[in-house]
Homo-oligomer: A and B are copies of this chain.
Amino acid sequence: MDEVLAHFSQYIKLSPVLTKEIIARVKLHTFKKGELVHDASTICTESFFIQKGLLRIYFVKDGKEITEYFGCEGEWSNSPRSFMQRKIDVYYIDAIEETKVFRLHVDDLVFLFNTFPEMDRYARLSMGTLVGHLLERVTSMRFASAKEKYDHFRSVYHDIYHRIPLHMIASYLGISPETLSRIRAEK
């Protein structure tokens, strides 16, 4: 549980009451390697805070699995539009390796938002970080060669990139697995 509380504490001071309510609502769960965490045919009603492991958020296009992003330790993962707007969206989530998560139901999150005004501040500040990453990614997607994209990826995910299968990285970067394989071979 410490990891979740530490995560919130990065952004806001946790009062004893809020701490208690978070602990009461968050449940530990372990997914096996390859296990489906969220199915695109359902509404994503839970968010997963990764304590240990790696998740992949992906969708299927022309029969191929395209990675949208990777869920890393110390972060929340979900199907964003599905979770926020309670509607069906295209994303699946599965576990790249055995993954321990703290799951939080959207109803519980809404309760926290409505009960503790400081939760809005937490969301504002943590989303600021996310927006920064997305802007950087948009920039690196547009004007970088395949090799530059991979180098950028490695610098951002330097702790975990070696735990992710090549074809998942390739689709995340929008390049073919063959091209990525050749880039790796050149080093």
Contact = CB atoms under 8 A, between A and B. Distances in A.
Contacts of A128: 84, 127
B138 A141 contact: yes
A92 to B, nearest CB: 15
A156 interface: no
Given A120-B121, A124-B123, A127-B127, A80 B132 contact: yes
Nearest to A124: B123
Contacts of A142: 66, 141, 173-174
**Copies in the assembly, this chain:** 2
Measured as residues with beta carbon below 8 angstroms from the partner, the interface class of chain A is 20 to 34
Interface string A28-54: 000000000000000000000000000
Contacts of A143: 61, 66, 174
Contact of A134 (B113, B120, B123, B134): B134
A135 B80 contact: yes
Interface of A: 61, 66, 68, 80-81, 84, 113, 117, 120-121, 123-124, 127-128, 130-132, 134-135, 137-139, 141-143, 173-174
21 contacts: A61-B143, A68-B138, A80-B135, A81-B132, A81-B135, A113-B121, A117-B120, A117-B121, A120-B121, A120-B123, A123-B124, A123-B127, A127-B128, A131-B131, A131-B134, A134-B138, A138-B138, A141-B141, A141-B142, A142-B174, A143-B174
